[in-house]
């Protein structure tokens, strides 16, 4: 059996690379590790070498360079030839896991995300550790490497949730939120804010039962079998709920859901359903921005009478899977511009990865830390008080990094900030 | 005796020395993957002192080496054939930026576009803008005397280099300047040694740092896109514009196959897909009087047969038009997996005729030629996308390229405008230069690198050097003294 079959099927994508090197400055691991083997051009070359047999799939150096890819896909928006790098990486990892299983930690985490009751329990315990203050305490006391997971958890705590009676005419259509594992487990308030802001802007929310993890973590790590199983479950669940639009507020999950068609392309029973599902997927910022005038009018009409809002400096950091994978660049900025009273400050290199990348920061904390370091410096230089970003991994990686560095800057989802604006507008003076 | 890799590892740290074959694969080529040479080892110094120490260790071992920046070169210039590859990409600090003097001092691994970004708050930019500027390094630009679209008006790399600290292959550190400004010790004058160094393709030494000029952003910029139904007409418009005494900041031509590749990419710029060719013309300078130039360019294009002439109405549209042009080379990957790129310079007045001839050569060899080039200075870039796994097609592509180059030389042109000779164009050198001239080049090199250890086997064919006769090849000659 040819264990490289998945990569073999994706081979045409490799042939588009002309070696121009334009991807190098777009690659966070090349910038951090300074070796072209840790660049898109280098990794594509290693993939080609795996296929033509000139390198061995068991070569530890080869595996390390491929493992060290964040999968941020920043190279895709830099590549003039349109090399489908993300698909090639996943095909490579799928091929390599047949040679050597994933590390134990990775297997445990992936299994956890695919097992509903266990995931729910673990997230409940995590909330307890966060609520009790233990997370924040350990983040302070433990040495940096061990402290990071607790700092990340502590940073996911939200301020008191906004409360107001969200009303809308529902005229824009019916949408259903893919709630997501970490979003619903640790960022529950962001999910509720998502529902309220969409309602205010004219969407009718519908709940979809029996949702599962989107499978992104599994697909990125090479566990395509599990990713496909989860995808099928979600497709079926959303078909049952009859939602016209599937909305997500997590960039990583959104990118995965859009690509269900590719993931299940070889499954004749599901390929068409998967493609249809992918076509219904929207990021929450897209929906809010498309409501355009409603968002702005809402903000404008409601706010001038509110007194002087606190002028908070907010910087937007683009989640890679929003900017590079879904190519959504302007919509989150439009949402932030609709938030009254904030001063949007530019963040240099906001299109560069923060090093979160799913479970990457658990598996390769050293590399993740080196990728995060310049991000934290740029944030400090920007003078922002809040970093807004629309992905749970990024919220926690940047949040945890800021927490450990002793910074007072916090991370928020853009939708939370909009939600607070609406809440303030409702509040009597 | 410890191995050379171990000695180098002691200087830069073992993580920054590569000696395993699988990890050296990516360092076998630059942006012209048709040419490959396997280095024996690669070393990446991270500081100025490490760089100098590495060169000294190589000198003590008598070991030849090749410098490399980002590997975006297009002539195989940075290939190391079983010798040491000296990667300079970690040396990426901007050491000083003086907005008053309008200069910057940078390490060799600083990316060209990063320098322009650093100048932006002061309304300054680094003028030489090779199409690979988002990735290529200033050190590589110095080695190749890189050009770019805007060099038509603003000059090439040499025109912007003021002073360089260079470590010679012997390990000696020297400062090279152009003899035109007073030095720290009050002296001035002498030969333009920096002029000799810039464009020496890594054969004279390694840049430790270089001071370059920054150029004030023009008060106003106007970018026009003219499209034509015949390539010839576009070439004709070029000649008319220059003949009218207008000095555009840039004047670029792209033909239909190139337009098609760009428009299918993420860098789609809105070039009309049905045009035989487009001209991208930029005029800039003081706001007063610029409209006259824009109007004149538009009129001249129409007179030459332009179908439409459109003026970019804002900075975003201008950026999009340029991005399409600059990424055109990379976009060729959409046409076929492999690519040969050429870089001939011909008299501008002969552009139309030569483009016809190039098209005829392409037809005869049944290859698809994509032209994207600096029309304003007659710097042609015929690119041929092909599949290298097809032996017959490869043979036809290379036959066509050789014929194109021979035709350009016969027209009074030369073989490189900005990509350098490297390995790729070595065979044409004897066609272009007399034995005496090649010999003089060898003598000049001997001043900087008498042992011929820096980038051996490039630029001047060894057999052309009389004093070197008897040396079968640099690689062979050097190996005797190399510690392995």
pLDDT over threshold 60, residue B474: no
Tell me which residue in B46, B89, B134 faces A22 most closely, judged by beta carbons.
B134
pLDDT at position B472 is: 39
Rounded mean pLDDT of B122-130?
A: 97
d(CA A282, CA A255): 9
**CB-CB neighbors (< 8 A) of A16 in chain B:** 333-334, 337
- pTM of the full predicted structure? 0.92
The size of the A-B interface in CB pairs under 8 A is 113
CA angle A170, A171, A177 (to 5 degrees): 50
Digit-coded pLDDT (tens) for A375-423: 999 999 999 999 999 999 999 999 999 999 999 999 999 999 988 888 8
Q: Which two tokens stand for residue A15?
A: 């042939």
Q: Is residue B438 within 8 angstroms of chain A, CB to CB? A: no
Q: Do residues B361 and B400 lie in contact, with contact meaning Cβ atoms separated by under 8 Å?
A: yes
| Cβ–Cβ gap B266/A79 under 8 Å | yes
Report the DSSP pairing between strands A245-248 and A281-283.
parallel
Q: Choose from A11, A21, A73 for mutation: most chain B CBs within 10 A.
A: A21
CATH fold for the domain made of A306-426: Rossmann fold (3.40.50)
Q: Which two tokens stand for residue B114?
A: 């990063």
Q: What are the φ/ψ torsions at residue A392 (nearest 5 degrees)? A: -60, -40
Which residue's entry shows tokens 């990509």?
A: B419
Rounded mean pLDDT of B430-438?
A: 91
d(CA B264, CA A82): 9
Question: In degrees to the nearest 10, what's the CA dihedral of A418, A422, A427, A429?
Answer: 80
Length of chain B in residues, anyone?
Answer: 484
More confident residue, B348 or B123: B123
User: What band does A132 get if pLDDT is binned at 50, 70 and 90?
Assistant: very high
Tell me if residue B471 falls in helix, strand or coil. Answer: coil
**CB-CB neighbors (< 8 A) of A59 in chain B:** 22
User: What band does B209 get if pLDDT is binned at 50, 70 and 90?
Assistant: very high
| Closest alpha carbon within chain A to B33 | A19
pLDDT at position A311 is: 67
| Cβ–Cβ gap B18/A35 under 8 Å | yes
**CB-CB neighbors (< 8 A) of A25 in chain B:** 111, 113-114, 134-135
pLDDT over threshold 80, residue A292: no
Tell me which residue in A18, A34, A54 faces B330 most closely, judged by beta carbons.
A18
**CB-CB neighbors (< 8 A) of B419 in chain A:** none
Arithmetic mean of pLDDT over chain A: 91
d(CA B30, CA B18): 17
Rounded mean pLDDT of A328-333?
A: 93
Q: Which two tokens stand for residue B426?
A: 């070595």
Q: Is residue A54 within 8 angstroms of chain B, CB to CB? A: yes
d(CA B361, CA B404): 7
The DSSP H or E segment spanning B18 is strand B17-18
Q: Is residue B386 within 8 angstroms of chain A, CB to CB? A: no
Digit-coded pLDDT (tens) for B292-314: 999 999 999 999 999 999 999 99
Tell me if residue A117 falls in helix, strand or coil. Answer: helix
More confident residue, A284 or A166: A284
Tell me which residue in A36, A59, A81 faces B331 most closely, judged by beta carbons.
A81
Q: Is residue A20 within 8 angstroms of chain B, CB to CB? A: yes
Digit-coded pLDDT (tens) for B32-41: 888 999 999 9
Q: Is residue A47 within 8 angstroms of chain B, CB to CB? A: no
Domain with CATH 1.10.1060.10 in chain A: 5-97
Digit-coded pLDDT (tens) for A205-226: 999 999 999 999 999 999 999 9
**CB-CB neighbors (< 8 A) of A41 in chain B:** 26, 71
In the stretch 68-97 of chain B, residues with CB closer than 8 A to chain A read: 70-72, 89-90
d(CA A373, CA B346): 49
Partners of B226 in the beta sheet? B279, B309
User: What band does A303 get if pLDDT is binned at 50, 70 and 90?
Assistant: very low
In the stretch 330-369 of chain B, residues with CB closer than 8 A to chain A read: 330-334, 337-339
| Closest alpha carbon within chain B to A81 | B331
| Cβ–Cβ gap A18/B329 under 8 Å | yes
Q: Which domains does chain B have, with CATH numbers?
A: 4-87 (3.30.43.10), 94-216 (3.30.465.10), 218-335 (3.30.70.2190), 336-432 (3.30.70.2740), 435-479 (no CATH)
% of chain B with per-residue pLDDT over 90:
84
User: What band does B2 get if pLDDT is binned at 50, 70 and 90?
Assistant: confident
User: What band does A301 get if pLDDT is binned at 50, 70 and 90?
Assistant: very low
**CB-CB neighbors (< 8 A) of B16 in chain A:** 34-35
| Cβ–Cβ gap A81/B330 under 8 Å | yes
Q: Is residue A383 within 8 angstroms of chain B, CB to CB? A: no
Look up residue A322 and give its DSSP letter: I
d(CA B415, CA B408): 8
Q: Which two tokens stand for residue B250?
A: 């840039």
**CB-CB neighbors (< 8 A) of B333 in chain A:** 15-18, 20, 80-83
| Cβ–Cβ gap A22/B132 under 8 Å | yes
Tell me which residue in B26, B114, B332 faces A18 most closely, judged by beta carbons.
B332
Domain with CATH 3.40.50 in chain A: 306-426
pLDDT over threshold 70, residue B453: yes
pLDDT over threshold 90, residue A55: yes
pLDDT at position B465 is: 62
- Nearest-Cα distance to chain A for B178, in Å, is 32
- Nearest-Cα distance to chain B for A175, in Å, is 30
Digit-coded pLDDT (tens) for B131-184: 999 999 999 999 999 999 999 999 999 999 999 999 999 999 999 999 888 888
Q: What is the distance in angstroms between the CA of the first residue and the CA of the last residue of chain A?
A: 72
pLDDT at position A166 is: 87
Q: Is residue B111 within 8 angstroms of chain A, CB to CB? A: yes
Rounded mean pLDDT of B45-66?
A: 98
**CB-CB neighbors (< 8 A) of B266 in chain A:** 76-77, 79-80, 82
Tell me which residue in A34, A41, A77 faces B89 most closely, judged by beta carbons.
A34
d(CA A197, CA A195): 6
**CB-CB neighbors (< 8 A) of B334 in chain A:** 16, 81-82
- Nearest-Cα distance to chain A for B439, in Å, is 34
pLDDT over threshold 50, residue B232: yes
| Closest alpha carbon within chain A to B330 | A80
Q: Is residue A58 within 8 angstroms of chain B, CB to CB? A: no
- Nearest-Cα distance to chain A for B468, in Å, is 35
User: What band does B349 get if pLDDT is binned at 50, 70 and 90?
Assistant: confident
| Cβ–Cβ gap A79/B338 under 8 Å | no
Q: Do residues B194 and B163 lie in contact, with contact meaning Cβ atoms separated by under 8 Å?
A: yes
Report the DSSP pairing between strands B84-87 and B370-374.
unpaired
Cβ neighbors of B212 (< 8 A, separation 6 or more) are B103, B104, B105, B106, B115, B126, B138, B160, B161, B162
Q: Is residue A82 within 8 angstroms of chain B, CB to CB? A: yes
Find, among B365, B242, B344, B247, the residue nearest to B300 by Cα: B242
pLDDT at position A428 is: 47
Rounded mean pLDDT of B447-475?
A: 73
User: What band does A3 get if pLDDT is binned at 50, 70 and 90?
Assistant: confident
Q: Which two tokens stand for residue A303?
A: 């706010």
Q: Which two tokens stand for residue B425?
A: 């164009």
| Cβ–Cβ gap B23/A37 under 8 Å | yes
Q: Is residue B32 within 8 angstroms of chain A, CB to CB? A: yes
Tell me which residue in B114, B264, B330 faces A22 most closely, judged by beta carbons.
B330
Q: Do residues A211 and A184 lie in contact, with contact meaning Cβ atoms separated by under 8 Å?
A: no
In words, the CATH class of domain A5-97 is mainly alpha
Q: Is residue A78 within 8 angstroms of chain B, CB to CB? A: yes
pLDDT over threshold 50, residue B480: no
% of chain B with per-residue pLDDT over 70:
95
Tell me if residue B84 falls in helix, strand or coil. Answer: strand
| Cβ–Cβ gap B266/A22 under 8 Å | no
d(CA B169, CA B450): 9
Q: Do residues A207 and A241 lie in contact, with contact meaning Cβ atoms separated by under 8 Å?
A: yes
pLDDT at position A167 is: 86
Q: Choose from A31, A36, A56 for mutation: most chain B CBs within 10 A.
A: A36
Range name among A335-344, B281-290, B394-403 with the lowest pLDDT average: A335-344
Q: Choose from A14, A16, A20, A348 for mutation: most chain B CBs within 10 A.
A: A20
Burial of residue A330 (CB within 10 Å: 0-12, 13-18, 19+) is exposed
| Closest alpha carbon within chain B to A42 | B26
Q: Do residues A154 and A94 lie in contact, with contact meaning Cβ atoms separated by under 8 Å?
A: no
Q: Provide the greatest CA pair distance for chain B.
A: 73
In the stretch 240-269 of chain B, residues with CB closer than 8 A to chain A read: 262, 264-267
d(CA B413, CA B115): 33
Rounded mean pLDDT of A174-189?
A: 96
- Nearest-Cα distance to chain A for B22, in Å, is 6
Rounded mean pLDDT of B386-412?
A: 93
d(CA B118, CA B1): 46
d(CA B383, CA A58): 38
Please report, for residues A81, B223, B328, B372, the alpha-carbon distance to residue B269 in angstroms, rounded to integers and kept in the order given. Answer: 15, 13, 11, 15
pLDDT at position B466 is: 58
- Nearest-Cα distance to chain A for B324, in Å, is 9
pLDDT at position B483 is: 34
């Amino acid at each position: 059996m040819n264990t490289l079959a998945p990569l073999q099927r994706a081979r045409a994508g490799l042939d588009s690379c002309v070696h121009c090197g334009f991807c190098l400055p777009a690659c966070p691991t090349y910038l951090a590790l300074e070796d072209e083997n840790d660049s898109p051009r280098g990794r594509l070359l290693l993939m080609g070498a795996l296929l033509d047999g000139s390198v061995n799939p068991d070569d530890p150096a080869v595996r390390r360079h491929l493992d060290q890819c964040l999968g941020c896909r920043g190279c895709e928006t830099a590549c003039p030839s349109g090399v489908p790098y993300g698909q090639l990486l996943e095909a490579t990892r799928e091929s390599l896991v047949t040679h050597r299983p994933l590390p134990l930690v990775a297997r445990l985490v992936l299994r956890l995300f695919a097992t509903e009751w266990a995931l729910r329990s673990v997230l409940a315990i995590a909330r307890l550790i966060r609520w009790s203050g233990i997370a924040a305490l350990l983040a302070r006391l433990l040495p940096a490497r061990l402290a990071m997971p607790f700092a990340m958890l502590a940073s996911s705590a939200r301020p008191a949730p906004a409360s107001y009676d969200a009303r809308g005419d529902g005229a824009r259509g019916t949408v259903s939120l893919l709630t997501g594992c970490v979003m619903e487990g640790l960022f529950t308030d962001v999910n509720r804010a998502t529902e309220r802001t969409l309602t205010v802007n004219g969407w009718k929310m519908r709940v979809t039962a029996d949702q599962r993890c989107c499978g992104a973590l599994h697909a990125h790590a090479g566990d395509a079998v599990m990713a496909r199983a989860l995808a099928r479950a979600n497709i079926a669940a959303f078909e049952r709920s009859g939602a016209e639009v599937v909305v997500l507020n997590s960039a990583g999950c959104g990118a995965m859901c859009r690509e269900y068609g590719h993931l299940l392309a070889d499954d004749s029973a599901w390929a068409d359903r998967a493609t249809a599902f992918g076509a219904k997927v929207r990021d929450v910022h897209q929906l809010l921005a498309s409501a355009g005038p409603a968002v702005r009018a809402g903000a404008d009409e409601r706010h001038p009478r509110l007194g002087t809002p606190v002028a908070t400096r907010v910087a937007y950091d683009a989640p890679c899977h929003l900017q590079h994978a879904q190519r959504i660049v302007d919509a989150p900025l439009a949402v932030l511009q609709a938030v009254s009273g904030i001063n949007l400050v530019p963040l240099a290199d906001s299109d560069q990865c923060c090093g979160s990348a799913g479970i990457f920061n658990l598996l390769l904390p050293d590399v993740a830390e080196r990728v995060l370091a310049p991000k934290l410096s740029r944030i400090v230089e920007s003078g922002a008080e809040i970093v807004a970003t629309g992905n749970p991994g990024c919220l926690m990686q940047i949040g945890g990094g800021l927490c450990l560095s002793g910074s007072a800057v916090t991370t928020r989802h853009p939708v939370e900030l909009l939600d607070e604006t609406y809440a303030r507008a409702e509040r009597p003076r | 005796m410890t191995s050379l890799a171990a000695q180098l590892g002691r200087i830069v740290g073992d993580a920054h020395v590569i000696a395993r074959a699988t990890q050296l694969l990516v360092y076998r080529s630059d942006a012209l993957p048709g040419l490959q040479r396997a280095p024996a080892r690669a070393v990446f110094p991270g500081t100025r002192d490490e760089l100098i120490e590495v060169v000294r260790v190589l000198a003590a071992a008598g070991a030849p080496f090749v410098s490399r920046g980002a590997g975006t070169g297009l002539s195989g210039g940075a290939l190391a054939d079983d010798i040491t590859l000296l990667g300079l990409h970690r040396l990426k600090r901007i050491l000083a930026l003086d907005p008053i003097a309008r200069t910057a001092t940078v390490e060799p691994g600083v990316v060209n576009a990063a320098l322009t970004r650093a100048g932006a708050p002061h309304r300054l930019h680094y003028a030489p803008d090779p199409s690979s500027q988002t990735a290529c390094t200033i050190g590589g630009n110095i080695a190749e005397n890189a050009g770019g679209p805007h060099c038509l008006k603003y000059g090439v790399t040499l025109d912007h280099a003021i002073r360089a600290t260079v470590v010679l292959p012997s390990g000696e550190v020297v400062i090279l300047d152009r003899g035109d400004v007073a030095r720290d010790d009050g002296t001035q004058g002498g030969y333009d040694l920096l002029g000799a160094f810039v464009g020496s393709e890594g054969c004279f030494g390694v840049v430790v740092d270089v001071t370059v000029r920054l150029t004030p952003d023009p008060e106003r910029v106007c970018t026009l896109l003219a499209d034509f139904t015949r390539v010839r007409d576009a070439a004709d418009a070029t000649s008319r514009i220059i003949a009218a005494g207008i000095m555009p900041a840039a004047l670029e031509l792209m033909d239909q196959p190139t337009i098609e590749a760009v428009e299918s990419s993420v860098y789609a710029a809105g070039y009309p897909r049905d045009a035989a060719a487009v001209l991208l013309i930029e005029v800039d300078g003081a706001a007063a009087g610029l409209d006259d130039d824009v109007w004149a360019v538009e009129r001249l294009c129409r007179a030459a047969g332009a179908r439409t002439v459109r003026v970019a109405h804002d900075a975003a549209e201008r950026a999009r038009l340029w991005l399409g042009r600059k990424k055109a080379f990379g976009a060729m990957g959409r046409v076929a997996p492999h690519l040969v790129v050429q870089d001939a310079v011909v008299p501008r007045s002969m552009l139309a005729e030569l483009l016809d001839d190039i098209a005829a050569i392409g037809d005869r060899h049944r290859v698809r030629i994509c032209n994207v080039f600096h029309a304003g200075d007659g710097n042609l870039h015929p690119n041929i996308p092909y599949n290298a796994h097809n032996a017959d097609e490869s043979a036809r592509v290379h036959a066509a390229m050789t014929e194109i180059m021979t035709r350009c030389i016969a027209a009074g042109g030369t073989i490189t405008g900005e990509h350098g000779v490297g390995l790729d164009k070595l065979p044409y050198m004897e066609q272009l230069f007399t034995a005496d001239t090649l010999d003089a080049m060898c003598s000049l090199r001997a001043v900087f690198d008498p042992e011929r250890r820096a980038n051996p086997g490039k630029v001047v064919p060894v057999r052309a050097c009389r004093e070197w006769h008897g040396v079968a090849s640099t690689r062979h000659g050097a190996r005797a003294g190399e510690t392995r």
